[in-house]
Amino acid sequence: MSFPLLTATAVLPAVGAVATAAVPAARRTTAKWLALLFSLATLVLAAVIAVRFEPGGARYQLAESHAWIKDFGVRYELGVDGIGVALVALTALLIPFVILAGWHDADPLETGSRRWRPTQGFFALILAVEAMVILSFEATDVFLFYIFFEAMLIPMYFLIGGFGDRAHEHGEQAAATQRSYAAVKFLLYNLAGGLIMLAAVIGLYTQAGNFSLPEIAQARANGSLHLATSTERWLFLGFFFAFAVKAPLWPLHTWLPNAMGEATAPVAVLITAVVDKVGTFAMLRFCLQLFPEASKWATPAILVLALISILYGALLAVGQRDIKRLVAYASISHFGFIILGIFAMTSQGQSGATLYMVNHGISTAALMLVAGFLISRRGSRLIADYGGVQKVAPVLAGTFLVGGLATLSLPGLAPFVSEFLVLVGTFTRHPAIGIIATFGIVLAALYVLVLYQRTMTGPVKAEVAKMPDLRVRELVVVAPLIALLIFLGVYPKPVTDIVNPAVRQTMSDVHQTDPQPEVEAAK
């Protein structure tokens, strides 16, 4: 029997979570280093998966399959395609940076006081989220996927509500109230989506008799499993609703600004750069593959919702006073681009959407983590409380600028390539929507540059006059992310080579081909 690499990649952070939580309360530094070492070991295994994966080979590779609940046809079944490999690698890559960036976020609130935060619990919860997200990207049994899709809500709830941001203009009590509200809202929204999906999962089982994604998809493709049109559409809507909440897609997005605003910066990165990607990934893996006809039926409405998300998120980002909420609304706009690319039903759009998931994760991590370093120095999330930072902390300001330029998809930085592919792929099949979506780029330039101008330029405010520049630990967090943004902006081929075969298979699932150019060839 070959080594169960996919299982090991998910089990390792789970074991790390247990080991970190078991460290004695007085050994906080030990818990931090232990969590970091487990996250780095997981990154090594994710790199091995990427190396062993063969683009153009079998659809689901490194597969594992074991009987679990035989009476109901539930199996412990794992496998990764190119899209799964890219997102497992993204998750494993970002978690060490999240841990390093949050190194002091769960330290005691007051020296010598009994008011303290369980540091071990904070890092254990991060590793638990990593394990569940990785299993979600690897699961090819629908019921197994559903379990971890829902289970990740529990550690995220405690990370938001128990370890939230303490920077609040109305004091610690107001901050605690807002954290609790944001955590409960996050949980209720996602639980509602999950319960609707559970009904759809059960409905799928009554039709197919098992939960295996490859088997159901194969039965649908060869005609041995036929779903009535109305049944397929209802099942599609049940799955899509849950994924649209997680993504998040307008109008199911309202939990995200609260959650990101009240969470610490590293946890905010965990939400939007890691956890939310499960929603858009699942649209590609489950919605399109299991329900191809219903996906095409719903495409016009989904494209309109994605377009609203792009413009609505960007417009609200322009008017934000809170730095973290601005990044949250910008992410809603970016998720609109990802969903637009998925349902454009073109290979360029879906390749761009997958690449966008990776690039958005890196760019948002860079911007949000630097913003977190900035906020921790001043103790305020309000844009108006800053000014002239580039004169006293030029490295912090420079990295903040690069993260912002990546967010607005500046050519030469990674998100530009993915956004360009999404727009090209959309325009070839839906030109009007593609044209309107480009206004999101203009608005992105507006909210990013205005944010930089108001916080980093102008006269130095008294409160930031003695602000220290980035420290060594913070540079170790930010520098690799910026290097990746530049590398993938210039040379995205390593990622596109992995994801393109999976995209072609997804296009085949929905029986779509790319539109032919309308320009006549020269005679």
Q: What mean pLDDT is predicted for residues 460-488?
A: 91
Percentage of the chain with pLDDT > 70?
94
Q: How much is the pLDDT for 209?
A: 82
Q: In this predicted model, what pLDDT tens digit does every residue of 193-233 receive, in sequence order? A: 999 999 999 999 888 888 888 888 888 877 777 888 899 89
pLDDT band at 523 (very low <50, low <70, confident <90, very high): low
Q: In this predicted model, what pLDDT tens digit does every residue of 253-277 receive, in sequence order? A: 899 998 888 888 999 999 999 999 9
pLDDT of residue 403 exceeding 90: yes
Q: In this predicted model, what pLDDT tens digit does every residue of 99-128 receive, in sequence order? A: 999 888 777 665 444 444 578 888 999 999
pLDDT band at 169 (very low <50, low <70, confident <90, very high): low
Q: How much is the pLDDT for 113?
A: 41
Q: How far apart are CA 84 and CA 135, in angstroms?
A: 10
Considering only 223-232, 303-312, 344-353, 428-437, which range has the smallest mean pLDDT?
223-232
Q: Name the average pLDDT for the chain.
A: 88
Listed in sequence order, the residues at least 6 apart from 165 whose beta carbon sits closer than 8 Å to its beta carbon are: 175, 179, 261, 262, 263, 264, 265, 324, 375, 381
Considering only 6-20, 175-189, 279-293, 434-448, which range has the smallest mean pLDDT?
175-189
pLDDT band at 166 (very low <50, low <70, confident <90, very high): low
Q: In this predicted model, what pLDDT tens digit does every residue of 438-471 receive, in sequence order? A: 999 999 999 999 999 999 988 888 888 888 888 9
Q: How much is the pLDDT for 111?
A: 45
Percentage of the chain with pLDDT > 90?
61
Q: How much is the pLDDT for 116?
A: 42
Domain ranges of the chain: 5-509
Q: How far apart are CA 164 and CA 183, in angstroms?
A: 9
Residue 72 near residue 205, CB atoms below 8 Å: yes
Q: How far apart are CA 298 and CA 233, in angstroms?
A: 8
Q: How much is the pLDDT for 488?
A: 93
pLDDT band at 51 (very low <50, low <70, confident <90, very high): very high
Listed in sequence order, the residues at least 6 apart from 505 whose beta carbon sits closer than 8 Å to its beta carbon are: 59, 81
Q: Which of 439, 284, 260 is nearest to 356 (CA)?
A: 284
Q: How much is the pLDDT for 112?
A: 45
CA distances from 288 to 94, 98, 124, 342, 437 (A): 28, 32, 35, 9, 23
Residue 364 near residue 401, CB atoms below 8 Å: no
Identify the helix (H) or strand (E) that includes residue 338.
helix 323-343
CA distances from 245 to 78, 83, 276, 468 (A): 24, 21, 9, 39
Listed in sequence order, the residues at least 6 apart from 4 whose beta carbon sits closer than 8 Å to its beta carbon are: 64
